Structure 1
Amino acid sequence: MFIDVIRDFWASTGFVALTWQQLVMLGVACLLLYLAIVKQYEPLLLLPISFGMLLANLPLAFLMGEPIYEIGKDGLPHVKQYGGLLYYLYQGVKLGIYPPLIFLGVGAMTDFGPLIANPRSLLLGAAAQFGIFTTFMGAIALGFTGPEAASIGIIGGADGPTAIFLTSKLAPHLLGPIAVAAYSYMALVPIIQPPIMKALTTREERRTKMEQLRPVTKTEKVLFPIIVTILGALLLPSAAGLLGMLMLGNLFRESGVVDRIFKTAQNELINIVTIFLGTTVGATASAEKFLRADTLKIIALGLIAFSIGTAAGVLFGKIMYIASGKKVNPLIGSAGVSAVPMAARVSQVVGQKENPSNFLLMHAMGPNVAGVIGSAIAAGVLLSIFG
């Protein structure tokens, strides 16, 4: 009797159902947890994503399981078994709710002053999106469908919420690999970007000092999000969700009249949504969806997208360097990818190594925040084509 009880208990545990594929995924999840906790690579999102991946690959836990229905005597479907916890939380991703809310918080934390003071930096942010469309064509050549290629290409924008938003709309079955790739490369900005920046610029260009930006008035800062929302939504209605929430958050910040909700948007709200978004996106990386040849292609294409975006920004910076009479440091072009504010800090660090008296951070923030707008617009373009 006792042995039968032990045998039945053992048969009900996850150890019996554990496959080698799930063991591999648990190892990948633990590696990402190590990078998030010990190396502190983008921990705010990499930690919940990797733990969500861990939860999704625990057999018999049913955390991402869909509800099961049966037809009742009345001929109508009734719930036989409710879905798992993460399945219901994931609906915020599936329905496109979480990414715009993240953008609301990002807007509340973002100062568009450097972009307003130097509107030319918008061109650098646009140039850095070149990696998205180049990689899109590369993904098509490798056999991915149009919606899949669009979702892979958006990794080049180095904007996690945008990548998740577009992928959830166009290719939800690729959400796990794309989210992991996007946030991994965002975390590796200080490692990936400097060699590209140095390879494409001369020492003289990297030593270029830029003039101090002009002061930006409160009126300009208040009008900016309103004007960008109107023009952006009229041009690309499909981008209105992301762009509108980004600018609403920024208007909370700059108006100065809603201090309470401004603080909520940049603190409590974005933190809560980040937990739900990261954990449920990680939970989509189950063994059967993640351990495929396409995943390796996605990771490789993501790196190419990010590298091309960085290179395009730097090369356009070189054009501006020449056109301005050597007054623009090309290094700020690398910040056109929207990994805010890390990419801008990398421009500052690389420039200061060549010239200790060089302070590029505020100049780099212009193309950096322009990249956030640019990636949202790029997502809108792709969504309008394939959505």
Structure 2
Amino acid sequence: MESLNALLQGMGLMHLGAGQAIMLLVSLLLLWLAIAKKFEPLLLLPIGFGGLLSNIPEAGLALTALESLLAHHDAGQLAVIAAKLHCAPDVHAIKEALALALPSVQNQMENLAVDMGYTPGVLALFYKVAIGSGVAPLVIFMGVGAMTDFGPLLANPRTLLLGAAAQFGIFATVLGALTLNYFGLIAFTLPQAAAIGIIGGADGPTAI
């Protein structure tokens, strides 16, 4: 009986949280839409596959070394990190301190977690190398541009004005967010308004 209990505790499904379960279902839905329904496969297939891998219980594929340390809940290791950040030795306090820390301090904590034997997951490494560096978006949109059929645009150049007008949504959204801030309805800084403005353009892949 003890062996069976140990086996069950060792299974990832026993550690499946509600949030992970929901995200796994969403990821499977995206994969089904991309594969079975051919609905935006270039977008939904990688998003669904990435979401599936990121939410596998206990795998930690999307966790950095420091996030793996925090998930492990080792009291001694948490105390070392907390002492460096001058905060209470619990996960919540450490996360709050990290959010307020300088990037250089965050890198020091990440290196400290690596020294303690933790390693980042493969998706975290991919994010750091490809997305965090800004290389992957450039390569992706070069590929999307190479696949785009410009025949209709060349046949009717006036449609270029429609595409240009669609980008007005970016500026309209930025101005709208700043207007809300001006009248005190919702507080937005200029960088926040600019980030919101990205979603205002008629360009789904860029927004994603």
Pairwise same-fold verdict (TM > 0.5) = yes
Is contact 2:169-2:202 (8 Å) kept? Answer: no
Q: How far, CA to CA, are the matches of 2:14 and 2:168 in structure 1?
A: 49
Which residue in 2 is equivalent to 1:66?
64
Which residue in 1 is equivalent to 2:29?
31
Which residue in 1 is equivalent to 2:200?
156
TM superposition shift of 1:123: 3.4
TM superposition shift of 1:147: 3.2
Which residue in 2 is equivalent to 1:5?
3
Work out whether 1:89 is the aligned partner of 2:126: yes
* Aligned CA distance change for structure 1 residues 137 and 95 (closer, same or farther; 3 Å): same
In structure 2, the gaps of 5 or more residues are 70-76, 81-110, 181-185
With normalisation by structure 1, the TM-score equals 0.36
Q: How far, CA to CA, are the matches of 1:110 and 1:38 in structure 2?
A: 23
Is contact 1:14-1:58 (8 Å) kept? Answer: yes
Structure 1 residues 248-301: Cα deviation after superposition (integer angstroms, max 9, x where no partner): xxxxxxxxxxxxxxxxxxxxxxxxxxxxxxxxxxxxxxxxxxxxxxxxxxxxxx
* Aligned CA distance change for structure 1 residues 158 and 59 (closer, same or farther; 3 Å): farther
Is contact 1:99-1:161 (8 Å) kept? Answer: no
Which residue in 1 is equivalent to 2:107?
none
Q: Secondary structure at the match of 2:62?
A: coil
Structure 1 residues 43-71: Cα deviation after superposition (integer angstroms, max 9, x where no partner): 12201201211221222110001024889
Q: Secondary structure at the match of 1:40?
A: coil
Q: How far, CA to CA, are the matches of 1:147 and 1:22 in structure 2?
A: 31
With normalisation by structure 2, the TM-score equals 0.62
| One-letter identity of the residue aligned with 2:137 | P
Q: How far, CA to CA, are the matches of 1:49 and 1:32 in structure 2?
A: 8
Work out whether 1:57 is the aligned partner of 2:101: no
Q: How far, CA to CA, are the matches of 1:132 and 1:15 in structure 2?
A: 43
Matches within 5 A, 1:267-286: none
TM superposition shift of 1:122: 4.1
Q: How far, CA to CA, are the matches of 2:58 and 2:165 in structure 1?
A: 47
Which residue in 1 is equivalent to 2:163?
125
TM superposition shift of 1:26: 1.7
TM superposition shift of 1:143: 4.5
Is contact 2:30-2:44 (8 Å) kept? Answer: yes
Which residue in 1 is equivalent to 2:140?
102
Is contact 2:167-2:202 (8 Å) kept? Answer: no
Q: How far, CA to CA, are the matches of 1:138 and 1:152 in structure 2?
A: 10
| One-letter identity of the residue aligned with 1:87 | A
| One-letter identity of the residue aligned with 1:81 | Y
Structure 1 residues 117-151: Cα deviation after superposition (integer angstroms, max 9, x where no partner): 87655433221112222233445535555434433
Structure 1 residues 166-210: Cα deviation after superposition (integer angstroms, max 9, x where no partner): xxxxxxxxxxxxx3xxxxxxxxxxxxxxxxxxxxxxxxxxxxxxx
* Aligned CA distance change for structure 1 residues 13 and 146 (closer, same or farther; 3 Å): farther
Which residue in 1 is equivalent to 2:95?
none
Which residue in 1 is equivalent to 2:92?
none
Is contact 1:32-1:47 (8 Å) kept? Answer: yes
Q: Secondary structure at the match of 1:81?
A: coil
Q: How far, CA to CA, are the matches of 1:111 and 1:32 in structure 2?
A: 25
Is contact 2:31-2:48 (8 Å) kept? Answer: yes
In structure 1, the gaps of 5 or more residues are 164-178, 180-387
Q: How far, CA to CA, are the matches of 1:88 and 1:4 in structure 2?
A: 37
Is contact 1:136-1:153 (8 Å) kept? Answer: yes
Higher relative contact order (CA 8 A, sep 6+): 1
Q: How far, CA to CA, are the matches of 1:57 and 1:146 in structure 2?
A: 34
Matched pairs, number: 158
